[in-house]
Structure 1
């Protein structure tokens, strides 16, 4: 499996892009985590990876979306993004996830990549705006990987994403990436209507389409219009975990999921401190689905000061880790309310209904399942998770 995957990367992508991926993401990413672990020993929490929703605008209307896509446009201006990345680099960070809305609707996206050739960016996108010319520009820049959302068949995609011809437009963007020899991934939010994507046939199709990695998320029942009927059962979550572990030993495609460690114990990236989120208003939030904040990029301090001095973020990490190894929003929405109230945190949505949405949530299970833990089988995934994507003492 590993040899076939390496061969795909070697022969299907631009060699200069592969080098940038290996150095900017691989080597520097490992170095960033080592610096993070060193800071932790001194009691300082600054995540090695930052995820930034750079704009709220989007052409689609996905079920269960928590972003204010119908509200007036909010976005972090290019110079603000430039300062954010520059400040984070001073503390060893070189990898940034760019989300939206739809990131390619941000007028300064490509210039941001151009200003930071020493960094690596993962762009979460529906793929509709990746024309051949945009893909050519990404190849020239060499420091970004598009992660394209595909939610299933044409019918399911239109239903889930709230549009017409959604899948065809997405696949066109994917083809442009492959044509221009980019490193490209596909992400799917697994729910009841697309659970058939948990299959070898789906992974084979992604390989045939030219995707080099796949990111499996599980549907989160949050936002202004949650759809609890789409949520996975505990048995399906366990089946998904088992499928991922088995396919990592078999299929020549990288498989990403952010919910379990090397031993198969559940984890939350926010609780471990591995990552926090910055919204399109500049608000610094625990994670993308917890839309409350006590700090903002525009407060006048750099991102390191804002995060390391935040008692709000510190309480969220500590209290959620004490409560569960899973998703605190799903399992303990009451605890989220308690922390928000304690710090008088600001609702960072434009709709202004985040607290009432929390109050209406029914507690449900997440990936935390102590009775059924499935350790990593492949040595490389096991090694990588143990050293660079682990609990880091959050649950001890």
Structure 2
């Protein structure tokens, strides 16, 4: 098997992801019909990106959009709460959240540029039904929706059944004990109920797992992956835990753990070809560096700020007054690329989080 290269996996029209989704949906006619239509749109998007590349402009194949600053859970080690981008209730001191109409306009701009994947996150994105409905109307974009899974009720099941471009990605940590320890008592059972409901209705879904020292052996085991497969899961995204403070660092993976994770991931891709497997930021290393700041993607916060990534919540450009095309050339993004920060060696799972002081200095317009 050739060395996995995430930048090619994403930039070359996301064909590998589409093929993987097709494999998981062939038994579902409704899902298959949508994915075939999306595959056509995706080829057109890839052509737009290729044309831009020839003109000296790089368009990333996907974006991450945090559409809500609200969440109904208080998960241990949550980066959004640590970064104060997620909260309880309304905060009058916070900037104004983007409206569903503003998000719809961003989605339309993304199509015009050739962006074909937008990952919806939060907070909890299912808090913003208005934005999810706006996303559902943009059939030329696939929207993986990263959710804690506790808000998927009958009304949402009906939306997902008819909006095949919305693909729920349920967050869990492995076993009931480990999941409930991090996410709250009873969450694992609610996730199983959500998976059961999605599976019975033939709705494609995936799972996102935050990989830590305490769960790496379990979540990458054949037994656990078989459990997810039996539940109807079409793919797994392994997200390496990024500690938000010194107290959390004991749970972070070391280099031996990362090597183990990537070896197992390679085996999974060879053995379970009907499922899609991604690892962040592990897969980025095979791409020669971090894919943030527009190299492979960038992050839009709930207020419209264009940020390098969710783990690096710094912005000098806002989409309320800047077109998406221009936001890709934000001064901060350009400085991060020019100074070689994205390609820098680092110990932990996220180069930008590890080099926070340097990112802040570049935000101010200077070098550290």
**Shorter-chain TM-score range:** 0.7 to 0.9
Q: Which whole-Å CA distance do the structure 2 matches of 1:138 and 1:75 have between them?
A: 24
Q: Cα distance 1:66–1:99, how it changes in 2: closer, same or farther (>3 A)?
A: same
* Contact kept? 2:86, 2:123, Cα under 8 Å: yes
Name which of 328, 332, 336 aligns with 2:351: 328
Could you tell me how far 1:77 is from its partner in structure 2? 1.1
Q: Cα distance 1:240–1:151, how it changes in 2: closer, same or farther (>3 A)?
A: same
Q: Which whole-Å CA distance do the structure 1 matches of 2:344 and 2:144 have between them?
A: 31
Q: Write out per-residue CA displacement over residues 252-286 of structure 1, whole angstroms, 9 at most, x where no aligned residue.
A: 42212244569945532216711000001211101
Could you tell me how far 1:179 is from its partner in structure 2? 1.4
The size of the alignment, in residue pairs, is: 337
Q: Which whole-Å CA distance do the structure 2 matches of 1:226 and 1:32 have between them?
A: 44
Q: Cα distance 1:7–1:284, how it changes in 2: closer, same or farther (>3 A)?
A: closer
CA RMSD in angstroms, aligned pairs only: 2.9
Could you tell me how far 1:158 is from its partner in structure 2? 1.8
Q: Cα distance 1:261–1:192, how it changes in 2: closer, same or farther (>3 A)?
A: closer
Verify: 1:28 aligned to 2:41, yes or no: yes
* SS of alignment partner, residue 20 of structure 1: helix
Verify: 1:136 aligned to 2:158, yes or no: yes
* SS of alignment partner, residue 328 of structure 2: helix
Q: Which whole-Å CA distance do the structure 2 matches of 1:5 and 1:58 have between them?
A: 28
Give the TM-score of the pair, scaled to structure 2.
0.82
Verify: 1:210 aligned to 2:210, yes or no: no
* Contact kept? 2:144, 2:168, Cα under 8 Å: yes
Q: Write out per-residue CA displacement over residues 282-309 of structure 1, whole angstroms, 9 at most, x where no aligned residue.
A: 111011111110011222x32112223x
Give the TM-score of the pair, scaled to structure 1.
0.77
Could you tell me how far 1:225 is from its partner in structure 2? 8.1
Q: Which whole-Å CA distance do the structure 2 matches of 1:261 and 1:190 have between them?
A: 14
* Contact kept? 2:312, 2:356, Cα under 8 Å: no
* SS of alignment partner, residue 40 of structure 1: helix
Q: Write out per-residue CA displacement over residues 322-352 of structure 1, whole angstroms, 9 at most, x where no aligned residue.
A: 42387322543343233233269xxxxxxxx
Could you tell me how far 1:239 is from its partner in structure 2? 0.4
Could you tell me how far 1:83 is from its partner in structure 2? 0.9
Verify: 1:54 aligned to 2:70, yes or no: no
Q: Which whole-Å CA distance do the structure 1 matches of 2:287 and 2:327 have between them?
A: 31
Q: Cα distance 1:343–1:138, how it changes in 2: closer, same or farther (>3 A)?
A: farther
* Contact kept? 2:171, 2:209, Cα under 8 Å: yes
Name which of 225, 229, 235 aligns with 2:250: 229
* SS of alignment partner, residue 79 of structure 2: coil
Could you tell me how far 1:79 is from its partner in structure 2? 0.8
Could you tell me how far 1:4 is from its partner in structure 2? 11
Name which of 123, 127, 152 aligns with 2:145: 123
Verify: 1:17 aligned to 2:37, yes or no: no
Structure 2 segments unaligned to the other structure (5+ residues):
1-15, 91-95
Alignment of 1:1-396 (within 5 A): 8-11=24-27, 13=28, 15-24=29-38, 26-67=39-80, 68-73=85-90, 75-161=97-183, 163-195=184-216, 196-222=218-244, 227-251=248-272, 252-259=274-281, 264=286, 267-270=289-292, 273-299=295-321, 301-308=322-329, 310-318=330-338, 319-324=340-345, 327-342=350-365
* Contact kept? 1:21, 1:120, Cα under 8 Å: no
